[in-house]
């Protein structure tokens, strides 16, 4: 998992409340058994004017010119700014996969759905909760200035605005540790590989019959 420490990036708006996971990555794209390739279909039904199916070449699609992510000023954005209850709906982990694979590293919202929030951390994506007033001011500034960027300092737990104003945010100590060190669930387990091997060796020494295999 890619580590997250300090990130500066262009901000893109998703100016809606209650964005559910089926809007983030529609159900037809869940047919894939791979864990990659979901970025081109992020917000598919809003991003394109035609219906999308797995395996389609995005270059052959009809983009919606009114959708923010299709507008030139937001190309290359790596921070998503949204409103309340982002990630509601079903618990599909494909939603944070699609957001991350599109190129976003962090999401700023006034609240998140619990399961989506937890899934973000497991996939190296930082969800940040700010007050509704702070989110509203960020939207005003984003719309007013082309090329609006923010700096997210995870070790210090602050979002730094272009004028230097810092917006503090909360994040659990364990989740922060995992993100800073790039540790997903597998990485956390492998960090204890020496202890696991030592335990297995000791166990087999005490109970050697466990090493027998039935042919």
Alpha-carbon span 100 to 104, nearest angstrom: 5
The answer to the question of residue 139 being in a domain is: yes
Look at the chain and report how many structural domains it folds into: 1
Question: What's 59's domain CATH number?
Answer: 3.20.19.10
pTM of the shown model: 0.88
Which strands form 106-109's sheet, in the order they lie side by side? 126-129, 106-109, 79-82, 6-14, 149-153, 158-160, 166-168
The answer to the question of residue 206 being in a domain is: no
- Report whether 28 contacts 54 (CB < 8 A): yes
pLDDT, tens digit (0-9, with 9 covering 90-100), for 152-178: 999 999 999 999 999 999 999 999 999
Band (pLDDT 50/70/90 cuts) for residue 215 is low
Instruction: Decide: helix, strand or coil at residue 48.
Output: strand
The answer to the question of residue 126 being in a domain is: yes
The answer to the question of residue 188 being in a domain is: no
* Mean pLDDT score, 26-33: 86
The answer to the question of residue 209 being in a domain is: no
Q: Which domain holds residue 44?
A: 6-182
């Amino acid at each position: 998992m890619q580590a997250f420490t300090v990130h500066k990036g262009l901000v893109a708006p998703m100016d809606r409340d209650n964005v559910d996971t089926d809007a983030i990555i529609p159900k037809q794209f869940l047919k894939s058994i791979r864990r990659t390739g979901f970025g081109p279909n992020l917000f598919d039904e809003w991003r394109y004017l035609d219906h999308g199916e797995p395996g389609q070449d995005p270059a052959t699609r009809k983009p919606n010119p009114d959708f923010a992510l299709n507008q030139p000023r937001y190309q290359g954005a790596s921070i998503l700014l949204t409103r309340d209850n982002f990630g509601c709906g079903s618990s599909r982990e494909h939603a944070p996969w699609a957001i991350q694979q599109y190129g976003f590293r962090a999401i700023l919202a006034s609240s998140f759905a619990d399961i989506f929030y937890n899934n973000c951390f497991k996939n190296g994506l930082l969800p940040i909760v700010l007050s509704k007033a702070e989110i509203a001011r960020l939207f005003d500034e984003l719309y007013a200035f082309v090329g609006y960027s923010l700096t997210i300092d995870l070790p210090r737990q602050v979002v730094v605005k272009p004028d230097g104003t810092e917006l503090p945010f909360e994040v659990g100590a364990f989740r922060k540790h995992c993100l800073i060190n790039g540790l997903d669930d597998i990485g956390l387990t492998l960090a204890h590989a020496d202890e696991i091997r030592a335990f297995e060796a000791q166990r087999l020494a005490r109970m050697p019959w466990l090493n027998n295999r039935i042919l």
